[in-house]
């Protein structure tokens, strides 16, 4: 009898697992239907069939949300229940409206198909998040997961950009792959004009690729999965700790949530501020102004450099819009500082504000506060500030009578500041990059190479890498055997990693220059060098040769952008098997150097 009951429970469990796969399967079919609907031209009768698929997906989604709470193994976390309730009501409303219950009684805005598509995507996100995925290190280590997630997103993005209704005129496979890589790797180099070559649908795809590429697909997938399931395996948390740079395993999902919320908050504020700077006579349509603001807020914070304008902000209607330039600059800075730095800085400012509040209340703060600003934050802030200030001064002096000649004094300072900030992996431009003086070009290439900060949306070798290498060189020159900063000792592993990143970056850039100069020797060595550094550092600035490069050179830049985004060191870590332990030491012997 006991064996019989056990078999029945086992069969029931298998049946439930099979049934649980139905909602995600239907949801995937609905997404494919949406891509066909928006990506291809089709007959009106096909539209009826597609609407049926949408309705089936929403209906299954409604049932799935309700039924899941009746089974212990599939029951969502308590904190996700308010979201499920709102989603359940929203999906029910959309489904009934789709069946014609409210069609004639609702305003035109509520009958817009955007709500139907939103419902379909929300069902997909909900069902995809419920899938139980184990990031087992025995099969894939964090470096491999990181690399594969970007590679998968690039390939999928290329397919989307090849859809007929994504472009005004069909683009080639190599151009679609280049654009997708540039968007996912938040570079900004373009072989076709984003504003005129892509439809609104295509531009939305690019914006989504920038957003997901800037934060990483693992960030979104992991957090939503945790949110709906209420937990995650220990192995998953270990893998995600390496990806998020969290100090403690318990902080992994808290950091993921903060990253997502902070990103959306900053981008939303940035979009509103950009919207207020736009001239109605230049963009009369409110919808177009909203889309322009949102697209550039995402592109700015993610340090992508993509613009719907043909010549970026060098367009006549925008090159003197200094408030717009400043907003974009600060979006670039916030995105390029790195999330750990922003969180640490917020914690410090919060503590200072609390101390000031106690002082105003005339209460003595007897609580001893720990050291809040860590060494990493100090290095990044000081290095970023120095590079930005020195870059602004150099740009101002060298370009005063050149590309800054048409600006007033305030305009010269703002444009020089923007030029210094945007070269640190953003890629927007308010001046003609091809008209810069040679000295300025050399400084720009250096700033591009250094790039943004670790765990940010930007590229380059990173500010902390550059700072550690320089400070360690000075320390060696002074005869010291270890690197000490701000009353802390920097471990040898960090110093070794910094030099490895620098060496590998030079190797990748040099290889890129060599190959492109072989395939397109007529483009000039300076232009090719500029292009290669820009691609590796995921900046997106160009001397105007990108669109004219051969297919072979475009492929070289595609690989350069990809390597620059994931870093050559990460690729090597993904390829080589790590040593499990180093529980031994060999006899030391000095090597003759210098």
Q: Quickly state the pLDDT bin for 304 (edges 50, 70, 90).
A: confident
Higher per-residue confidence, 455 vs 166: 166
Confidence of residue 4 (pLDDT cuts 50, 70, 90): low
**Which of 145-149, 200-204, 219-223, 268-272 bottoms out in mean pLDDT, i.e. has the lowest?**
219-223
Query: What value does the CA radius of gyration of the chain take, rounded to a whole number of Å?
Result: 26
Please report, to the nearest 10 degrees, the dihedral formed by the alpha carbons of residues 187, 191, 195, 201 taken in order. Answer: -80
CB burial string 307-319: b at 16+ within 10 A, e below: bbbebbbbeeebb
Question: In this structure, are residues 467 and 435 in contact, taking their beta carbons and an 8 Å threshold?
Answer: no
Q: Which residue has the higher pLDDT, 486 or 497?
A: 497
pLDDT tens, position by position, 393-415: 999 999 999 989 888 999 999 99
Residue 590 Rama label (left phi>0; alpha psi -120 to 50; beta): beta
Give me the pLDDT at residue 137, please: 47
pLDDT of residue 393: 94
Looking at per-residue pLDDT, the higher value among 451 and 234 belongs to 451
Total residue length of the chain: 594
Strands 483-485 and 488-490: antiparallel
Nearest to 332 by CA among 429, 464, 413, 202: 429
Specify whether the CB–CB gap between 564 and 213 falls below 8 A: no
Instruction: Quick: pLDDT tens for 54-104.
Output: 888 888 888 888 887 776 666 666 667 777 788 888 888 888 887 777 655
User: Are 301 and 286 contacting, i.e. CB atoms less than 8 angstroms apart?
Assistant: no
If you search the block for the tokens 């654009």, which residue do you land on?
179
Between 521 and 1, where is the model more confident? 521
Q: Which residues contact 220 (CB under 8 A, 6 or more apart)?
A: 212, 260
CA distance 39 to 33: 10
Mean pLDDT of 558-572: 87
Task: In the chain, count H helices and then E strands.
Answer: 22, 2
Confidence of residue 439 (pLDDT cuts 50, 70, 90): very high
**Could you tell me if 332 and 541 are in contact, meaning their C-beta atoms sit under 8 angstroms apart?**
no
Are the beta carbons of 93 and 54 closer than 8 angstroms? no
> Is 195's pLDDT higher than 50?
yes
Choose between 338 and 499: higher pLDDT: 499
Q: What is the pLDDT of residue 177?
A: 93
pLDDT above 70 (res 241): no
According to DSSP, residue 75 is labeled P
What are the CA-CA distances from residue 222 to residues 86, 216, 225 (Å)?
A: 22, 10, 5
Quick one: pLDDT at residue 235? 53
Say if residue 242's pLDDT is above 70: no
Nearest CA to 429 out of 188, 181, 186 is that of 188
Residue 370 pLDDT > 60, yes or no?
A: no
Dump pLDDT digits (tens) for 33-46. Answer: 888 888 887 777 78
| Per-residue pLDDT at 239 exceeds 60 | no
State the pLDDT confidence band at 298, using cuts at 50, 70 and 90: very high
Q: What tens digit of pLDDT does each residue of 259-293 get?
A: 888 888 999 999 999 999 998 888 888 888 999 99
Burial class (CB in 10 A: 0-12, 13-18, 19+), 494: middle
Residue-wise pLDDT for 352-363, tens only, equals 777 777 677 765
Q: Is the pLDDT of residue 229 over 60?
A: no
Confidence (pLDDT) at 187 = 86
- The pLDDT mean for the chain works out to 81
pLDDT surpasses 50 at 138: no
pLDDT at 106: 57
CA distance 564 to 531: 13
Residue 231 has pLDDT above 70, yes or no: no
Helix residue spans in 451-491 (DSSP H)? 463-477
User: What number is the average pLDDT over the span 124-141?
Assistant: 63
Distances (CA, A) of 295 to 94, 191, 242: 27, 19, 30
**Number of Cβ within a 10 Å radius of residue 290:** 16
- Under the banding of pLDDT at 50, 70 and 90, the label for residue 240 is low
DSSP H helices in 185-251: 194-197, 200-215, 217-229, 234-244
At 392, the pLDDT band (50, 70, 90 cuts) reads very high
User: Which pLDDT tens digit goes with each residue over 468-477?
Assistant: 999 999 988 8
CB atoms within 10 A of CB 548: 11
**pLDDT at residue 234, rounded to an integer:** 46
Q: pLDDT tens for residues 148-168?
A: 888 888 999 999 999 888 888
Three-class DSSP category at 151: helix
User: How distant is the alpha carbon of residue 395 from its chain centre?
Assistant: 28
End-to-end CA distance of the chain: 82
Tell me, letter by letter, the H, E, C secondary structure of 496-548: HHHHHHHHHHHHHHHHHHHHHHHHCHHHCHHHHHHHHHHHHCCCCCCCCCHHH
pLDDT digits (tens, 9 = 90+) for 532-555: 999 999 888 888 888 889 999 999
Query: In whole angstroms, what is the distance from residue 123 CA to residue 90 CA?
Result: 11
Q: Which two tokens stand for residue 109?
A: 């805005």
């Amino acid at each position: 009898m006991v064996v019989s009951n056990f078999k029945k429970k086992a069969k029931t469990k298998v049946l439930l697992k099979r049934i649980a796969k139905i909602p995600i399967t239907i949801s995937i079919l609905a997404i494919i239907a949406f891509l066909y609907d928006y990506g291809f031209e089709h007959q009106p009768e096909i539209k009826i069939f597609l609407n049926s698929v949408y309705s089936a997906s929403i209906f299954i989604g409604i049932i799935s949300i309700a039924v899941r709470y009746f089974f212990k193994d599939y029951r969502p976390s308590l904190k996700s229940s308010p979201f499920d309730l709102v989603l359940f009501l929203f999906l029910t409303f959309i489904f009934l409206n789709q069946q014609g219950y409210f069609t004639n009684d609702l305003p035109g805005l509520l009958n817009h198909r955007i709500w139907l598509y939103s419902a379909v995507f929300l069902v997909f996100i909900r069902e995809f998040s419920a899938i139980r995925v184990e990031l087992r290190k025995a099969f894939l280590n964090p470096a491999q997961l990181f690399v594969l997630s970007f590679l998968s997103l690039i390939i999928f993005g290329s397919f989307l950009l090849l859809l007929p209704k994504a472009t005004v005129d069909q683009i080639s496979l190599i151009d679609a792959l280049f654009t997708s890589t540039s968007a996912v790797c938040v570079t900004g180099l373009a072989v076709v004009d984003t504003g005129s070559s892509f439809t609104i649908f295509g531009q939305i795809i690019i914006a989504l690729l920038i957003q997901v590429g800037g934060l990483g697909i693992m960030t979104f997938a992991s957090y939503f999965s945790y949110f709906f399931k209420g937990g995650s395996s220990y192995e998953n948390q270990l893998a995600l700790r390496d990806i998020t740079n969290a100090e403690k395993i318990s902080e992994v999902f808290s950091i993921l949530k903060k990253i997502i919320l902070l990103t959306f908050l900053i981008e939303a504020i940035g979009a509103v501020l950009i919207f207020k700077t736009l001239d109605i006579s230049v963009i009369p349509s409110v919808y177009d102004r909203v889309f322009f603001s949102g697209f550039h807020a995402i592109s700015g914070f993610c340090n992508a450099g993509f613009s719907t304008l043909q010549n970026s902000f060098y367009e006549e209607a925008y090159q003197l819009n200094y408030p717009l330039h400043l907003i974009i600059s600060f979006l670039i800075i916030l995105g390029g500082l790195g999330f750990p730095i922003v969180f640490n800085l917020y914690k410090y400012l919060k503590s200072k504000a609390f101390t000031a509040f106690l002082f105003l209340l005339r209460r003595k703060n007897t609580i001893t506060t720990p050291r809040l600003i860590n060494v990493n934050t100090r290095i990044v802030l000081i290095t970023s500030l120095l590079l930005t200030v020195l870059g602004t001064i150099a740009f101002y002096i060298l370009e005063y009578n050149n590309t800054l000649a048409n600006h007033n004094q305030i305009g010269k300072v703002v444009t020089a500041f923007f030029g210094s900030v945007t070269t640190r992996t953003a890629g927007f431009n308010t001046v003609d990059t091809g008209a810069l003086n040679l000295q300025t070009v050399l400084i720009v290439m250096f700033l591009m190479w250094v790039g943004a900060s670790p765990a940010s949306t930007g590229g380059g070798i990173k500010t902390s890498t550059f700072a550690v290498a320089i400070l360690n060189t000075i320390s060696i020159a002074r005869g010291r055997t270890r690197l000490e900063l701000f009353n802390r000792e920097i471990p040898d592993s960090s110093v070794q990693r910094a030099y490895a990143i620098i060496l590998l970056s030079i190797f990748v850039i040099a290889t890129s220059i060599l190959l492109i100069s072989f395939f397109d020797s007529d483009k000039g060595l300076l232009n090719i060098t500029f292009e290669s550094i820009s691609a590796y550092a995921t900046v997106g600035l160009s001397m105007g040769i990108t669109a004219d490069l051969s297919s072979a050179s475009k492929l070289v830049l595609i690989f350069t952008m990809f390597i620059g985004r994931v870093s050559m060191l990460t690729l090597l870590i993904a390829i080589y098997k790590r040593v499990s332990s180093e529980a031994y030491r060999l006899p030391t012997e000095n090597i003759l150097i210098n």
